[in-house]
């Protein structure tokens, strides 16, 4: 019996279509780590509730400690409604979402505050990462997807000429973001927020719970955000697994009032070899091959999400500087051979 049934919480697994699954696949945010909540001591009698279901097309879990099950049910429903609302802003697989309409027309009048804030934050992250985080790489995704859909596709990936042409449409600085409209300043551009939106939604759910006076909370919606630690512990247990060998831990952390996200090219591949995947280097148009995976711990899941993407592209010697400039705590970089090293930031 799952947590939803056991505690009488709503279960929404069947509400999400296959297109939701594709949203997660496109974002490559099926993280290779699982939250492990520490058990309460016998002296602490506050019940622990754990809702499990699907959100954004992937397994999701919200774990919290609270004394009133009716309050828990009401708050979880509010969280699920918010997830659905934000999906209509950020999802590339919702034909009516704001980001899809922006990409279709090249401009969007009266964008929501949610979209404007996240795109502004993305431009700032593009600046401090020297363009390694670039929300306008969506044309590369489309190019690779089309290439590998073809029968007998060249295993080396799209031709260099095609990538050079597509790269001419990629530049996060060429997005004009205003209160009345968002528009691309060059033709042929398209944006994706898949490298930050799942973290932003995770943060929003954590904020809802905090505003409802829930403090001992772990939210796992692709990215993980923790509020206060469970009673009599120093933090929620989080295990970081090897993306090549699921179940094989590369690191363990205790999380409290922080967030963690992981990016890995092994999460979403265009080809069987895995040489071509979703983590594009905007400077070359090719899939990044510097790291097997990157995990980032920061104050928000959105920041962790975006920085894990950017550091997957950047050389390891740039990691500490970027982490400090962004205000992130640390990152776990795993080499292609599987060696894991923590890099300190702020």
pLDDT tens for each residue of 167-188: 999 999 999 999 899 999 999 9
Q: Can you list the domains of the chain with their CATH numbers?
A: 103-184 (1.10.3980.10)
Query: What is the full DSSP assignment across 269-329?
Result: BSSTTSSSBS-B-TTTSSBP-S-SEEEEEESSHHHHHHHHHHHHHS-GGGHHHHHHHHT--
pTM of the model: 0.84
- The tokens for 294 are 């990157």
Q: Is the pLDDT of residue 325 over 50?
A: yes
pLDDT for residue 202: 94
Per-residue pLDDT of 61-82, as tens digits, reads 898 888 888 888 899 999 999 9
Instruction: Output phi, psi for 110, to 5 deg.
Output: 50, 55
Contact by Cβ (8 Å): 322, 303: no
* d(C-alpha 220, C-alpha 227), whole Å: 12
Contact by Cβ (8 Å): 71, 211: no
* d(C-alpha 36, C-alpha 63), whole Å: 10
Q: Which of 7-16, 159-168, 315-324 has the lowest mean pLDDT?
A: 7-16
Helix (H) or strand (E) holding 157: none
* d(C-alpha 66, C-alpha 49), whole Å: 7
* Residue of 275, 234, 242, 281 whose CA lies nearest to 258: 234
Helix (H, G, I), strand (E, B), or coil: what is residue 79?
Answer: helix
- The tokens for 249 are 């831990």
Torsion sign, CA atoms 328, 259, 195, 276: positive
* Alpha-helix residue ranges (DSSP H) falling in the chain: 3-7, 18-27, 69-90, 98-105, 113-128, 138-149, 160-167, 197-211, 301-313, 319-326
Kindly list the strands in the beta sheet with 249-255, ordered across the sheet, starting from the edge strand earlier in the chain: 33-36, 236-241, 249-255
* d(C-alpha 154, C-alpha 157), whole Å: 6
pLDDT for residue 43: 46
Q: Which of 156-165, 186-195, 302-311 has the lowest mean pLDDT?
A: 156-165
Per-residue pLDDT of 95-147, as tens digits, reads 999 999 999 999 999 999 999 999 999 999 999 999 999 999 999 989 988 88
Determine if residue 327 is left, alpha or beta; phi over 0 gives left, psi from -120 to 50 gives alpha, anything else beta. left
Higher pLDDT, 60 or 184: 184
pLDDT for residue 266: 63
* d(C-alpha 3, C-alpha 53), whole Å: 9
């Amino acid at each position: 019996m799952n947590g939803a049934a056991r505690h009488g919480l709503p279960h929404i697994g069947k509400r999400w279509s296959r297109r939701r699954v594709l949203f997660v696949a496109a974002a490559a945010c099926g993280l290779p780590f699982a939250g492990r909540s520490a058990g309460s001591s016998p002296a602490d009698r506050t019940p622990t509730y754990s809702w499990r279901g699907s959100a954004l097309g992937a397994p999701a879990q919200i774990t919290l400690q609270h004394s009133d099950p009716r309050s828990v049910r009401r708050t979880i429903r509010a969280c699920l409604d918010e997830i659905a609302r934000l999906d209509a802003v950020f999802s590339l697989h919702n034909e009516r979402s704001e980001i899809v309409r922006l990409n279709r027309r090249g401009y969007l009048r009266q964008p929501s505050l949610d979209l404007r804030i996240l795109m502004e934050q993305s431009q700032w992250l593009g600046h401090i990462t020297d363009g390694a985080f670039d929300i306008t790489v969506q044309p590369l995704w489309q190019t690779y997807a089309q290439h590998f859909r073809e029968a007998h596709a060249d295993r080396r990936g799209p031709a260099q000429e095609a990538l050079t042409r597509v790269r001419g449409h990629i530049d996060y600085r060429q997005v004009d973001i205003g209160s009345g409209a968002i528009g691309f300043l060059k033709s042929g551009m398209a944006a994706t927020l898949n490298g930050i939106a799942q973290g932003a939604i995770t943060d929003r759910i954590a904020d809802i719970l905090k505003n409802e006076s829930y403090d001992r909370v772990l939210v796992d919606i692709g990215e993980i955000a923790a509020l206060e630690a469970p009673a009599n512990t120093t933090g929620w247990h989080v295990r970081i697994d090897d993306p090549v060998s699921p179940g094989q831990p590369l690191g363990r952390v205790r999380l409290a009032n922080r967030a963690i996200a992981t990016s890995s090219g092994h999460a979403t591949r265009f080809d069987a070899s895995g040489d071509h995947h979703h983590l594009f280097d905007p400077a070359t148009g090719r899939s990044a091959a510097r790291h097997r995976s990157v995990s980032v711990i920061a104050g928000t899941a959105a920041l962790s999400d975006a920085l894990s993407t950017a550091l997957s592209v950047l050389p390891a010697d740039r990691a500490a500087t970027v982490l400090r400039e962004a205000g992130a705590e640390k990152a776990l970089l795993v080499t292609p051979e599987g060696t894991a090293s923590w890099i300190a930031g702020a």
